[in-house]
Amino acid sequence: MHGTELGKEFRAHWQGSAARLCFYLLQVLQGARRNEAAIFTHGGDMLLKVADLSLSRSLSRSLSLSSRRQQAGQC
């Protein structure tokens, strides 16, 4: 996939619900979309650059908790 197409997908998630955005970023952090994350970075579209695995793990936990709270209506 080309970087601009990925940018459009990311913006679509950004403009949707925060829970969808959290889920998308969580997929990136967990490696399901690791190649896409690299393309985002190279294309200049990536807002989040994950360089450190321990940082990505703690951030993915934070996003997961945040997403669960929002889905439960506690935000």
- Residue by residue, DSSP assigns 9-70 as HHHHHHHS-HHHHHHHHHHHHTTTTHHHHHHHHHHT--S-----HHHHHHHHHHHHHHHHHH
Domain ranges of the chain: 3-71
Q: CB–CB of 48/25 below 8 Å?
A: yes
pLDDT for the residue numbered 44: 46
pLDDT for the residue numbered 24: 72
The pLDDT tens digits along the chain (75 residues) read 445 666 666 666 666 666 666 777 777 777 655 555 554 445 444 445 544 455 556 666 666 666 666 666 654
